[in-house]
Structure 1
Amino acid sequence: MSGLDLRPRVVRSALGEWADDLDDQAALDRYAAAAWSVIAEPGDGVAGAIVGALGRVEALRLVTHDGLLSGVGDPQTLARAQERWRPRIDAGAVSAALRTARANGVHLLVPGDPLWPSAVDDLGVHSPLTLWVRGDPARLGSDRPAVAIVGARAATAYGEHVAIDLGAGLVARGVAVVSGGAYGIDGAAHRAVLRAGGVTMALLAGGADRAYPAGHAGMLGDIAATGVVISEVPCGTAPTRWRFLQRNRLIAALSAATVVVEAGWRSGSLNTAGHASALGRPLGAVPGPVTSAASAGCHRLLREYDAVCVTGVDDVADLIGALPADSPSERASPGESSVDSDSRRVRDALSSRTPRSVTAIARHTGLAEADVAGRLGMLELEGRARRVLDGWLRGG
């Protein structure tokens, strides 16, 4: 253990240009936040409790110098925690984390920052002590509602199709999509949002600079360019099984609702659903064939955990309660004609805030551009779509 030197000169050197606009105390506080992300594993409730009680800097001083942490918890629990943290109290590791983050364009967010997502504070002592963000942190701290779409890595074609429909449909309603960057349902949802020009957030179990899985390096780069890639652990950290489970609590906390598209009986997605339920966030599940093992977990959520049955984006809109629901006359009925159905698809692809071109709408709906243009003309006459300089918006 090399220990930590908390003198201003040393702290400023480790922070580099990040310290330029900070006074000594603010620089020390930011350094302490980075140090805690190196020392403690995500979701460490003991670390959360002592930082909450003493502040980042004072808690770090005591832990670094084997100080007594009396009065902030059970003595035996604190002693075991200090034993757990002691091997990681390494100035070199903290400096390396900060240096690697700066080199990779990864930002350090800490509680109290203007762009800190306050929704994660609902996790209490298990709230993150820091967030490492690749991309523009302003997208994380915006007022845009967000919905988590999660599910099995070994997804079926049916599951991926539903994830794509939900992701694109939420973009049309101005909603961000949160997921875990994995293969299967996660990847399908992320890509649908990217294709639709929306904002998506990928929560990683390893460092924000590490593409995991490696096959999603390009997708994660695209997400960072238009949304955010987020991690609780420092850059360079490898993902592990327990970090995936801890990552899931952040997916749930950042989202106004969680929707599980496909999940096996013991899927990790059920862990995310459990966190959402514990936080009091709405929970939805997509039903599948009763013969499909890939949907067994979703059926379990519907049966045992009071999850809402989700069959389309309108059900998700009802879950978060922040979107204008379509009037009953606009909802599809069993006898709806294909023309009416196509008009509904076109209108669902429209945003009330972001203009969309005929080409973008055609790509989203799967209709020919000529058919989209015709439906838009009819919707305009009905007052349900309106033409603007850069494309089309949803009408009243």
Structure 2
Amino acid sequence: MSVGEQEAAAVPWSVREAYAYLGAVTERPTAQLWDLVDSVGPVAARDLIRAGRAGEALNAQAESRREHVDGAALLDSAAAVGARLVVPGDPGWPGYALAPLDRPRGRRRDGTGGVPTALCPLGLWWRGSTDPETTLGRAVAVVGTRAPTPYGRTVAADLSAGAAAEGFTVVSGGAFGIDAAAHRAVLGVHGMTIAVLAGGVDRLYPRGNDGLLREVAETGAVISAQPPGTGVTRYRFLDRNRIIAALTGATVVVEAAARSGALSTAAWAAALDRPVGAVPGPVTSVASVGCHLLLRDRGAVLIGRTADVVELAGEMGETAPPPAGEATPWDGMDDVTRRILEALPTSGGVAPAEVARSAGIASTTVRAVLGRLMSTGAAVRGPEGWRRSEDGGMQLSLPVS
């Protein structure tokens, strides 16, 4: 079964279409939007927003787009370029990596007094045949200036190729300069690389990297939180940076000026408790000022060789989902998955939000884990909601923690 068929089996088309609508109807995935989705589900949330009955704050956020967004058309546009929408509930949804983006909502620092804070995306537009869960299990971001020196370009290529040879997926932004050097180096060693765009995956940007990005999509993936047809803006680049930081186990900055966008990615990584590395350069080089600031003031780790990258990014293994086993659902199960499975009833059904409250785990993580549990047969989603399957492992003795 292909990746697309697996996802289709996990998430009904109506739900995927609803997520496509919800991801496009507001500029950013806000706390109000996620609260509504958690409360009534994506399909009902879409219907309420479209009808203008989603509450004052959310109605205002969606006012300019609610009658014009067509989720089905967005899915068709993606399919036309070989892309698909990966959503919560899909086996490949990287909820374990994106969950920290939901923290402001849990702490009620959701920006309701001003510009809404961007939270976990409602889906990722994925252009490529690769499996998100597999490719993002061990991933490192390599980012930097669009105007690198020959030194920076060489170091970015060497570190990226080395990391790929060690089995890491190298994630970058597809831009000129360091990003392009990282992608090309990985392609050169037949490794895995992912480009995260600030616009739609059907509008490869920058145009000068069109050929490079097409090659990345053929062997890895070109992805975006923005729906097809979306153009790039400065704030969308900043939002793109947080996705890069969230999807990777560590961020390595190779040459960055004092106000480089790469420092935004590093700041997001630090805020998400992901390690940050920086490559030092000549003290006379403007292109290395940002890296030196990271090393001096912001706790970055000095990166000088591939082994440093492997050591830094290897920490992602602690947060990656456990490998699926052939035996019982309880074998090798981590604490988060066990708590979510234990929160499911054996009859009837409950919503993901109720599971999140019962287990004390972020809703984004719950949705991702439920999709995995369903793919292994440990959980079932029925008309009344989620429940544990009859052979979901509860008849077995619980592992001793």
TM-score, with length taken from structure 2: 0.70
Q: How far did residue 136 of structure 1 move?
A: 1.4
Hey, what does 1:280 align to over in structure 2?
Answer: 273
Which of 262, 267, 270 is residue 269 of structure 1 equivalent to? 262
What is the Cα deviation at residue 91 of structure 1?
5.2
Counterparts of 1:242-391 in structure 2, within 5 Å, are 242-321=235-314
Counterpart for residue 202 of structure 1: 195
How far apart, CA to CA, are the structure 2 residues paired with 1:22 and 1:177? 29
Q: CA deviation at 1:114?
A: 0.4
Instruction: Tell me what 1:116 maps to.
Output: 93
Q: Describe the superposition over 1:320-347 as per-residue Cα deviations: whole angstroms up to 9, x where unpaired.
A: 2369xxxxxxxxxxxxxxxxxxxxxxxx
CA distance in 2, matches of 1:120, 1:37: 15
TM-superposed CA distance for 1:47, in Å, is: 2.0
| Paired residue type of 2:33 | A
What is the distance in 1 between the residues matched to 2:187 and 2:9? 36
Give structure 2 stretches of 5+ with no counterpart. 106-118, 317-401
What secondary structure does 1:87 align onto? coil
Matched, 1:97 2:83: no
1:50 equivalent to 2:28? Answer no
Residue 14 of structure 1 is matched in structure 2 by none
Q: Which amino acid aligns with 1:123?
A: L
Aligned to 1:230: 223
1:85 equivalent to 2:71? Answer: no
**CA–CA distance in structure 2, aligned partners of residues 161 and 115 of structure 1:** 34
SS at match of 1:88: coil
Matching residue of 2:26: 40
C-alpha distance in structure 2 between counterparts of 1:108 and 1:200, whole Å: 19
- Aligned pairs (5 A) from 1:118-133: 118=95, 119-124=97-102, 126-133=119-126
Q: Which amino acid aligns with 2:221?
A: V
The 1:47/1:153 distance shift into structure 2, 3 A limit, reads same
- The structure number with the bigger radius of gyration is 1
Letter of the 1:57 counterpart: V
Amino acid at match of 1:225: E
Distance 2:9 2:140 in 1: 35
CA deviations 1:25-57 (Å, max 9, x no partner) are 923211110101220224434323332333212
Partner of 1:190: 183
Aligned 8 A contact 2:257 2:286 in 1: yes
Distance 1:45 1:248, change over 3 A: farther
CA distance in 1, matches of 2:54, 2:198: 32
Q: Deviations over 1:265-296 (max 9, x none)?
A: 11111110011001111110111111111111
Q: Tell me the equivalent position of 2:327.
A: none
Q: CA deviation at 1:239?
A: 1.0
SS in 2 for 1:28: helix
2:397 maps to none
- CA separation of 1:82/1:144 partners in 2, compared to 1, >3 Å: closer, same or farther? same
Conserved 8 A contact 2:18-2:71: no
Q: Given that residues 85 and 124 in structure 2 are in contact (C-alpha distance below 8 angstroms), is that contact kept between their aligned partners in structure 1?
A: yes
Q: Which residue of 2 aligns with 1:65?
A: 51
d(CA) in 2 for partners of 1:104, 1:214? 16
Q: How many residues in Structure 1 have an aligned counterpart in Structure 2? A: 297
Q: CA deviation at 1:180?
A: 0.2
Which AA in structure 2 matches 1:40?
Answer: T
The CA distance in 2 between the partners of 1:160 and 1:65, in whole Å, is: 51
Partner of 1:380: none
**Which of 140, 143, 165 does residue 150 from structure 1 map onto?**
143
Identical aligned pairs, as a percentage? 48
Inter-partner Cα distance in structure 1 for 2:39 and 2:293: 39
Give 3-state SS (helix, strand or coil) of 1:108's partner: strand
Partner Cα separation in structure 2 for residue 139 and residue 275 of structure 1: 21
Distance change >3 Å, CA 43–CA 182, structure 1 → 2: farther
Q: 1:147 to 1:231 in 2, by over 3 A?
A: same
* TM-score w.r.t. length of structure 1: 0.70
